[in-house]
Amino acid sequence: MADTSRAVPRRPAHDRRSMLLFGGVYGAVVASAVLAALTEYGRYSRADRRYDAAWLLVTALASALAHGYAHYIADRGPRRRGQALRALADEWPLVVAMLPSVLILAGAGWGWWPTRSVEYSAFSFNIVLLFTLGLFSARSAGRRWTFAVATGMGDALIGVIVVVANAVIK
């Protein structure tokens, strides 16, 4: 029988719920930050909004690739076939959390709604998403409603900070 006392301890795998919540929060914050950076110069044409939507989508995919790769590298256990692809695929919540902002910008670019100040709709959506994810995570962990609402408000505050920082920096 092999001596397992010297085996390298493996980092516990993340469960699906924690990965969903982490990816959602991370994606909403990144979407807001990139949105703030892209809309800094006051360009409001349809083409500009489509351009911004495309860059936000590229950022979502690049962030997911970078984060998945970092997880793969950080896992110091033995390598298994397909492990790198699974690490990348596990980042889907980050991309999904950024897609509403992409669609809001793209919709303005396609003429579905006015292009001026559409970023504030995306910011608002991301703040509501952050609140919802915080509330859901606390409730699913068995916390009371008051604690869950406070957690949601704390998560939403991150989004508000990005919006305020955007306003101050402009």
Q: Please write the tens of the pLDDT for every residue from 104-136.
A: 999 999 999 998 889 889 999 999 999 999 999
Characterize 135-158 residue by residue with b for buried, 16 or more Cβ atoms within 10 angstroms of its Cβ, and e for exposed. bbbbbeeeeeeeebbebbeebbeb
Cα(55)–Cα(79) distance, integer angstroms: 33
The structure's pTM equals 0.82
DSSP symbol at 39: T
How many Å apart are CA 115 and CA 133, to the nearest integer? 28
Q: Could you tell me the pLDDT band of residue 83, with boundaries at 50, 70 and 90?
A: confident
